[in-house]
Structure 1
Amino acid sequence: MAGRIKDEDVTYVRDHSPIDDVVADYVQLKNAGGGQKKGLCPFHDEKSPSFHVTPSKGFFHCFGCQVGGDVIAFIMKLEHLTFMETVERLADRIGYTLKYETSGASSSPSINRSRLVAANTAASLFYQEQIQLPAAQHGRDFLTKRGFDRDAAKNFNVGYAPDEWDGLYKHLKGQGFTDEELTLAGLVKEGTKGPIDRYRNRLIWPVKDISGDVVGFGARKLASDDVDQGPKYLNSPETPIYKKNQILYGLDMAKKEISKNRQVVIVEGYTDVMAAHLAGVTTAVATCGTAFGDEHIRIIRRLLMDADAFRGEVIFTFDGDAAGQKAALRAFEDDQKFVAQTFVAVEPNGMDPCELRQAHGDDAVRNLVARRVPLFEFAIKSVIANYDIKSAEGRVTALNQVAPLIARIRDASLRPEYVRLLAGWLGMEVDVVSTAVKKTGRSSELQTPVKINLTDPILVLEREVLKVKLQLPDLAHSWVDLEDSAFSFPLYDQLRKLLDQQPVLNIQELIDKSDSDELKSLITELTVEPIRTDGEVSDRYITSIFARLREVALSRLIAEIKSTLQRLNPVENDAQYQEIFTELVGMEAARRVQKELALGES
């Protein structure tokens, strides 16, 4: 795995990227008083601004959709980037060069990502120049036969690796790149007499990350097998900037359309992506020499902003053969990780999008996607096809194989529908199928999250105290005196315990240590939410709310003690009764003191 960015580099980038400056690139901000700025939220539609930025704290929070965080979280969410990609983007913005440490011994050399990206970018330009030369005629012919003209090749930056041992190597050395950089980037490999080009006599597709940086290449063999015994497709090796399980070809071009249309079409190769985009299916992407996996799922989920509701579509274009059916069943398991609806688009004759466009034109590709069927239906029918359902034994066996699939469908409302459909496909009674499905698994019940009633006076008070602790920690002198039961709302109590673990307040560390997105959101929300007082926050106000919170907490404890006393017999349990009664008297006295402080009478 590639080395991580050093913590000090992350801190430097965060500290030197003023959040209001970064946000202003996307949102028109206006001063809102109290050292805050506000504007219309970029994460949801709204008419009145509820998106707040606190430059002094380095945080943002939207009180409409509850999204919040620091400058890194803002770019991650808005641009659909990973943490590392975001830090790299911000580092480029301020002209800061990041260093990357390889895993293993501390003596491992540092890796400069920007140099590796620069080397790949220069290589891509070199390949694009080469495809224009006479020696690349057979490469251009290959593209033409598949329906791609010069403009299409140019649009996708398709290039050609010349049939030379070190053409690229010499070119990049002339531009100042070192052997180590070119090797780390995966552009050259060691030959018997020194470094040689990794790709020779191949069509080249540059592979870009979601930000558009060239991080690797896909290369298609042009020579016959008797001349070139290498694989048909040769992809970049794993490098510090290229991890094939984290890359989707075409995502840099498709990301905006995916977010806009809430749809992603997953195809199998570079030419399939080209064909789909040229046909108007601009949400198409492909994996790079690996199966569609968990990391790809996370990327797609970020783009679809997938949450707890069925929103958006994920469409797989598998081949119609046995391998394609196997891929569909594997994707069925992945679908439980997607909340978006998942579909399969299969061409009956087994043609992929590139072949389909060649044979029948752009409309055929669009129609392929339009004729998609739910993944559940495709997977179930793929299993049924393996059995002779004309016989009773075949029907029962098919039912036993399919029932677990239906039981695992995440949407509980869909299961009865597929029970009825399966009964029809098998020619069996609905009750029989329903019983088989229920036996194979139990559906998970979704827990409804507890919502905060922000108008509850006690919760308002608890919230104010937490805001003072987060925003004005030096003035929160009474924090250490708060009773253990001071915060009645569980999430507030979690935050209190987290704060108690941190001797010196550091908001970012607090967020990093939070074990739930809900808690992280609360921290950013309370960090930027104005304290409920006119003008400056006075010592008197802070003393008052802390005293009032203690008064409320003591009242709860007093009620519990009185309840205990009522259950005790003072004659039979005299010593215990007197001990608890003395505790009660002390608590009531403490409560009177806090009440006086809250009212300003002390």
Structure 2
Amino acid sequence: MAGRIRDEDIALVRERTSIGDVISETVTLKSAGGGNLKGLCPFHDEKSPSFNVSPARNVWYCFGCGAGGDAIKFLMDAEHLSFVESVERLAGRAGIQLRYVEDDRGATPRPRPQQGQRQRLVAAHAAAVQFYRAQLSTAGARPAREFLAQRGFDRAAAERYGCGFAPEGWDLLTKHLRQQGFSHQELVTAGLSRESRSGTLIDRFRRRLLWPIRDLAGDVIGFGARKLFDDDDGPKYLNTPETPIYKKSHVLYGIDQAKREIAKQGRAVIVEGYTDVMACHLAGVTTAVATCGTAFAADHISVLRRLLLDSDEVTGEIIFTFDGDAAGQKAALRAFEDDQRFVGRTFIAVSPDNMDPCELRLAKGDLAVRDLVASREPLVDFALRHVVSRYDLDTVDGRIEAMHRAAPLVAMVKDREKREGYGRRLAEDLLGMEIDVVQRAVRAASTTSRARDAAPVARDNSGLPVVDSPQARVEREALKLALQEPALAGPMFDAVEAVEYRNPVHASLRAAIAAAGGASAATGGAVWIQKVRDSCEDLAAQALVGELSVEPLRLDGPPDPRYVAIQLAGLQRGSVAARIREAKSKLQRVNPVSDKDTYFALFGELLSLEQHGRALGEQAAGGL
């Protein structure tokens, strides 16, 4: 069993990794000023971006959920990798050869060619893609080629999307991959092979047309397989089962090819199948994606929101192109329940002939597909019409029941003006009722909905967390200087000990900085920040490291030694002021006659503290 990675190599990976490049493959990042970047957090749902990245220090932190760390931690959290797998992936990107030690007793480090589990599973899928693509040109794959041709896809389109064919043999792929060095267990874990009743290993897919499914980074993590033969008793579509790298609720087919256009156009088109994605892309609707054998749900929304940077400032469009039949309408209404997780606008596009995009392209050409998307209608309108259509509006009972069923849909619209507008439309255009009656029903439903929402975190005008006192604010600023600018803060910071910090968490973090060697000995960056984090004995202080490592300093322009001196003077001044109050309190409780020695000792201490406080006050006010 291979040992741990050398600490020096881990540090080298951190130093040579561009955290902005790594995170931007998953999250749309925009400038946050001061050299920092921001985007929507991939680890919790939010409307305004609170996910901050500091390329200068190679760290990230989310002010919304408190998650943070370096590029290694991001991959661990975003792609469910182990620490070793994350380091190995980043090392591969940076061209670093990792060395491993067998144990902690100083064994000789050595290179290890073996990759982490994720890398092995991705490699197996890449090899499978090549195998299946080669099979598509064989005689046995003629039905697969005909299927594609009948839907308007030529050889170039098949190659662009990596289409392939699973041959008729029971274990042709399995044998091929075993010859390439993949183990029995790896193929089973990857979902490429399965054990037969007799215990032998056989292919999961046989006699089917295949589409490789890729993640945001472009790695193949699974397959979608379409039935071609009447004597195939399996389902019409068969997908890769849940594996360590394939989670169907997190996967959108075509996202690897559509992600840049989604971010650029601020629009995502949701279709139902693999051929619909291909048809849309080839017709010029390059933002189309599809779910893989599951309903569009919250996790899919999270993926799209990060690309759209959907927030109060930047709105994104989500366009659903479900079929016009009953099943498609049900899917659209189910999507509406999740629609309010977006601040942006959500629409539905249904072909008048109830054709999906692939059928529409075949029948009427590329322009018809583009026109379908252009003719979208707000999903709210569609949902209201659908709900109201279930009731007999010629009767009072029918109109009242329709109102009670439709009002909660209107109440889900977060924008107050839009909510009132849709309430008016529901009353006048759909129900023929008095506006006040319908608006009361909407307000009642809206009150219930708002009661479920959690209160937001308090922040100041710059978006920073509100700090409860001037002393806490200056302590926070000093700690930021030590984490972000240790070479500048250096001896000045180290000279102010943890006892000067009144906030217990701040004091704990100050002690951790000392335990990590102090700011004077640090060079900065992700390695330094990780070292401080590892030195924290307090969990709250450990979490604070990530937050303060990306939070902007409270000044315009770069800090200088004078700014450091002012902050540290202000920090000590607050501490000295507290000690002055304590000394005065003690002095008042001492009898100057019966306990003269104690009285004059405290009086002398008070004079010294007050003198020190005045000096710090002058220093803290310097240049401000």
How far, CA to CA, are the matches of 1:558 and 1:193 in structure 2? 80
Q: Which residue identity is paired with 2:132?
A: Y
The 3 A distance-change label for structure 1 pair 247 and 495 is farther
8 Å contact 1:259–1:303 — kept in the other structure? yes
SS in 2 for 1:17: helix
Find 2:499's aligned residue among 481, 490, 503.
481
Deviation at 1:72, TM superposition (A): 4.8
- 2:254 counterpart of 1:250: yes
How far, CA to CA, are the matches of 2:19 and 2:254 in structure 1? 27
Question: Which residues in structure 2 correspond to 1:251-270 (within 5 Å)?
Answer: 251-270=255-274
The 3 A distance-change label for structure 1 pair 388 and 559 is farther
The 3 A distance-change label for structure 1 pair 453 and 274 is closer
SS in 2 for 1:240: coil
The 3 A distance-change label for structure 1 pair 70 and 147 is same
1:450 corresponds in structure 2 to: 460
How far, CA to CA, are the matches of 2:387 and 2:164 in structure 1? 42
2:90 corresponds in structure 1 to: 90
1:466 corresponds in structure 2 to: 479
8 Å contact 1:204–1:217 — kept in the other structure? yes
8 Å contact 1:201–1:221 — kept in the other structure? yes
SS in 2 for 1:465: helix
2:341 corresponds in structure 1 to: 337
Q: 1:490-545: per-residue Cα shift (whole Å, max 9, x none)?
A: xxx976676568874573475996799998454324699954326xx9xxx75x75
Find 1:204's aligned residue among 181, 206, 210.
210
How far, CA to CA, are the matches of 1:340 and 1:12 in structure 2? 46
1:395 corresponds in structure 2 to: 399
Find 1:313's aligned residue among 314, 317, 323.
317
Question: Which residues in structure 2 correspond to 1:532-543 (within 5 Å)?
Answer: 532-533=560-561
- 2:442 counterpart of 1:437: yes
SS in 2 for 1:282: coil
The 3 A distance-change label for structure 1 pair 290 and 60 is closer
Find 1:22's aligned residue among 4, 18, 21.
18
* Structure 1, unpaired ranges of 5+: 1-5, 28-41, 62-66, 100-109, 486-492, 571-581
Q: Which residue identity is paired with 1:524?
A: V
TM-score normalised according to structure 1 size? 0.75
2:573 corresponds in structure 1 to: 551
SS in 1 for 2:212: strand
Deviation at 1:220, TM superposition (A): 0.5
SS in 1 for 2:202: strand
RMSD of aligned alpha carbons: 4.6
Find 2:226's aligned residue among 216, 220, 241.
220
Deviation at 1:223, TM superposition (A): 0.4
| Relative contact order higher in (CA < 8 Å, ≥ 6 apart) | 2
1:107 corresponds in structure 2 to: none
Deviation at 1:68, TM superposition (A): 9.5
The 3 A distance-change label for structure 1 pair 9 and 416 is farther
Deviation at 1:203, TM superposition (A): 0.4
How far, CA to CA, are the matches of 2:214 and 2:145 in structure 1? 22
8 Å contact 2:316–2:344 — kept in the other structure? yes
Q: Which residue identity is paired with 2:322?
A: F
How many pairs were matched up? 534
- 2:590 counterpart of 1:590: no
The 3 A distance-change label for structure 1 pair 143 and 418 is same
Q: 1:554-596: per-residue Cα shift (whole Å, max 9, x none)?
A: 558979999x9xxx9x9xxxxxxxxxxx999976752322333
How far, CA to CA, are the matches of 2:545 and 2:410 in structure 1? 35
The 3 A distance-change label for structure 1 pair 357 and 415 is same
Deviation at 1:410, TM superposition (A): 1.9
* Structure 2, unpaired ranges of 5+: 38-52, 62-66, 101-114, 517-527, 590-600, 620-624
Q: Which residue identity is paired with 1:450?
A: D
8 Å contact 1:210–1:251 — kept in the other structure? yes
Question: Which residues in structure 2 correspond to 1:259-408 (within 5 Å)?
Answer: 259-309=263-313, 311-408=315-412
The 3 A distance-change label for structure 1 pair 54 and 588 is farther
2:200 corresponds in structure 1 to: 194
8 Å contact 2:211–2:223 — kept in the other structure? yes
SS in 1 for 2:30: coil
1:428 corresponds in structure 2 to: 433
8 Å contact 1:60–1:524 — kept in the other structure? yes
The 3 A distance-change label for structure 1 pair 164 and 526 is same
Deviation at 1:459, TM superposition (A): 9.1
Deviation at 1:23, TM superposition (A): 6.3
The 3 A distance-change label for structure 1 pair 452 and 163 is closer
SS in 1 for 2:322: coil
How far, CA to CA, are the matches of 2:398 and 2:582 in structure 1? 66
- 2:166 counterpart of 1:161: yes
Deviation at 1:299, TM superposition (A): 1.2
SS in 1 for 2:496: helix
How far, CA to CA, are the matches of 1:44 and 1:510 in structure 2? 27
How far, CA to CA, are the matches of 2:55 and 2:138 in structure 1? 56
Deviation at 1:11, TM superposition (A): 7.9
The 3 A distance-change label for structure 1 pair 520 and 467 is closer
The 3 A distance-change label for structure 1 pair 402 and 217 is same
8 Å contact 1:162–1:202 — kept in the other structure? yes
1:175 corresponds in structure 2 to: 180
Find 1:121's aligned residue among 118, 121, 126.
126
The 3 A distance-change label for structure 1 pair 238 and 339 is same
Q: Which residue identity is paired with 2:549?
A: I
Q: 1:408-447: per-residue Cα shift (whole Å, max 9, x none)?
A: 2222231111111111221111111111111223246877
Q: 1:96-120: per-residue Cα shift (whole Å, max 9, x none)?
A: 6899xxxxxxxxxx96222221211
1:140 corresponds in structure 2 to: 145
8 Å contact 1:315–1:343 — kept in the other structure? yes
TM-score normalised according to structure 2 size? 0.73
How far, CA to CA, are the matches of 2:5 and 2:409 in structure 1? 47
Q: Which residue identity is paired with 2:228?
A: L
Q: Which residue identity is paired with 1:467?
A: K
How far, CA to CA, are the matches of 1:197 and 1:74 in structure 2? 34
The 3 A distance-change label for structure 1 pair 556 and 345 is farther
How far, CA to CA, are the matches of 1:98 and 1:241 in structure 2? 25
The 3 A distance-change label for structure 1 pair 590 and 426 is same
- 2:550 counterpart of 1:524: yes
How far, CA to CA, are the matches of 2:544 and 2:339 in structure 1? 24
How far, CA to CA, are the matches of 2:582 and 2:398 in structure 1? 66
8 Å contact 1:59–1:524 — kept in the other structure? yes
How far, CA to CA, are the matches of 1:453 and 1:234 in structure 2? 47
Percent identity for Structure 1 against Structure 2: 43
The 3 A distance-change label for structure 1 pair 434 and 24 is closer
SS in 2 for 1:266: strand
